[in-house]
């Protein structure tokens, strides 16, 4: 997964895969049937891991909006050498394969939509908890949150300095906190 994430589908060679997996080409094809099959399994693992980590982080939060704000702030704490300091694998894959590998690109779209669905659920819980007004559009907020996360991941990928990244993450977190319904 990390190799494909770092290099992308097209730039990852069979030799790269052999070295990373310590397998011969015949064994790789026997286990995964193709480079695409192996890539799709890696992409599924990335998605499942990301969605699970997001759900776990939201479950630990005192409230849905608190979880969203903390999640955004957490990007400022990612070390520059950590794999999460790269752009999102789902987005990178979509960009890399859209014109050449439509099945892989479609799977990326599905997973991005699945992540957005998880975010929508958080905003639906915030509405149910009275944190957000009842007329709030949870899908719209989920798209906004996903865009913020992608922007933070891009800044990490670009090597944005810690202070600038922290300030950006804090601005985004505060924007979501300001949505909190004021009790009357």
- Residue 183, domain member (yes or no): no
pLDDT of residue 69: 98
pLDDT of residue 24: 85
- Residue 143, domain member (yes or no): yes
Low-confidence ranges of the chain (pLDDT < 50): 184
Cα separation, 28 vs 143, whole angstroms? 37
Cα separation, 153 vs 104, whole angstroms? 21
Residue 146 maps to which CATH number?
Answer: 1.10.357.10
- Residue 184, domain member (yes or no): no
pLDDT of residue 183: 55
- Residue 47, domain member (yes or no): yes
- Find the domain containing 38 and state its range: 2-177
CA 3 and chain centroid, separation:
17
């Amino acid at each position: 997964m990390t190799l494909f994430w770092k290099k992308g589908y097209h730039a990852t060679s069979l030799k790269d895969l052999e070295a990373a997996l310590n397998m011969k080409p015949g064994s790789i094809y026997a286990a995964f049937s193709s480079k695409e099959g192996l890539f799709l399994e890696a992409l599924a693992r990335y998605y499942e891991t990301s969605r699970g980590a997001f759900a776990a982080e939201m479950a630990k939060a005192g409230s849905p909006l608190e979880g969203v704000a903390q999640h955004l702030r957490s990007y400022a704490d990612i070390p520059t050498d950590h794999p999460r300091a790269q752009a999102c694998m789902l987005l990178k894959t979509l960009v890399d394969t859209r014109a050449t590998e439509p099945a892989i690109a479609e799977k990326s779209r599905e997973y991005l939509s699945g992540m957005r669905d998880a975010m929508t659920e958080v905003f639906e819980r915030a509405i149910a908890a009275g944190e957000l007004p009842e007329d709030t559009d949870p899908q719209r907020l989920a798209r906004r949150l996903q865009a913020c996360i992608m922007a933070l991941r891009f800044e990490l990928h670009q090597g944005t300095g810690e202070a600038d990244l922290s300030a950006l993450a804090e601005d985004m977190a505060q924007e979501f906190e300001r949505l909190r319904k004021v009790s009357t």
